[in-house]
């Protein structure tokens, strides 16, 4: 089978996924990920396999004279010119459900971390402040709170199930399409109500014209001063400057961000110096199982090249 197809592998995957890809195709490995390098490498390739931070531009797609498919090891397609691919007759294949559970679990973990700041409490214990810390209360219980979910799709609905069925929290949500019913109590609300009534607002939307910058100064001002913001979706959904100001002025109680704009933040960025802001380096999806399922895109790409039906294609 090797040699029947040529696949441009933009960046390394895990060894097992690369082995499977090499068994079904000749793998082309570019010297770097610059657009001009990729354009030169893709000319005679049947497919591209890339990750969610690799830009798949119209220029790159047009450079692939024999290109039939683009496989993205991940959930989002923000990095792909899907309209150009569609116009050129190139199938885009991704793994939208690969990391849903991983990201949902991580979002809930961030909520708990905001409410009960375990590392900070542990550090103060190590610093000899046992009695001082123990004499104070530290945060509410999640079951006492209203969790607001922006985007009730694959990940948002999992978060809703965990906090409603597992913790007993009240769940409200907003989505641009009609969703549900769900196997847990969840109330649809308009966006104004979502901003105003959420004790914890968690974001689970893609990057689109409707969502970029949606969490702005106006929204942050409407939120309760006891409310927390959690973002495990896309950095551009939250306007970073207004968030810094909201945290500094304590117009919200805290934030936990796995994604930011820009990414990565410079080391001297003010968010790193705010005690009630948790920053993690875009790792919510990166569990063993999550990555394994993302890298299974190589199997879907090979199946498509062989003429087999492939799930999660963008036509």
Enzyme catalytic residues: 234, 263, 282
- Candidates 274, 297, 265, 305; CA nearest to 117 is 274
| Sheet containing strand 6-9, strands side by side | 26-28, 6-9, 47-51, 69-73, 91-93, 313-314
Distance CA 106, CA 101 (A): 8
Q: Omega of the bond prior to 183 within 30 degrees of 0, cis?
A: no
Contacts of 299 (CB under 8 A, 6+ apart): 20
The count of residues in the chain is 315
Angle value at C-alpha 220, between 215 and 225, nearest 5 degrees: 145
Distance CA 46, CA 61 (A): 11
């Amino acid at each position: 089978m090797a040699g029947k197809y040529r696949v441009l592998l933009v960046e390394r995957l895990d060894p097992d996924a690369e082995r499977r890809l090499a068994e079904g195709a000749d793998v082309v490995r570019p010297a770097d990920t610059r657009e001009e390098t990729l354009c030169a490498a893709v000319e005679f390739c049947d497919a591209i396999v890339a990750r969610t931070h690799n830009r798949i531009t119209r220029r790159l797609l047009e450079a692939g004279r024999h290109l039939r498919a683009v496989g993205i090891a991940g959930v989002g397609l923000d990095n792909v010119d899907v309209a150009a691919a569609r116009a050129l007759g190139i199938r885009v294949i991704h793994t939208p459900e690969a990391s849903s559970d991983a990201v949902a679990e991580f979002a809930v973990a961030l909520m708990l971390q905001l409410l009960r700041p375990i590392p900070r409490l542990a550090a103060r214990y190590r610093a000899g402040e046992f009695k001082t810390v123990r004499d104070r209360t530290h945060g509410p219980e999640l079951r006492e709170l209203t969790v607001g979910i922006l985007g009730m799709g694959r990940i948002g609905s999992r978060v809703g199930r965990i906090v409603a069925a597992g913790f007993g929290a009240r769940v409200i949500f907003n989505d641009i399409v009609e969703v549900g019913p769900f196997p847990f109590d969840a109330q649809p609300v308009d966006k104004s109500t979502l901003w105003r009534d959420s004790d914890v607002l968690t974001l689970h939307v893609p990057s689109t014209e409707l969502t970029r910058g949606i969490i702005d100064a106006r929204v942050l001002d409407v939120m309760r001063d006891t409310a927390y913001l959690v973002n495990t979706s896309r950095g551009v959904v939250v306007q970073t400057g207004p968030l810094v100001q909201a945290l500094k002025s304590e117009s919200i109680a805290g934030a936990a961000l796995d994604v930011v704009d820009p990414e990565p933040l410079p080391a001297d960025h003010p968010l790193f110096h705010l005690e009630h802001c948790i920053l993690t380096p875009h790792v919510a999806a990166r569990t063993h199982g999550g990555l394994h399922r993302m890298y299974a895109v190589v199997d879907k790409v090979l199946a498509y090249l062989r003429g087999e039906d492939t799930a999660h294609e963008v036509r």
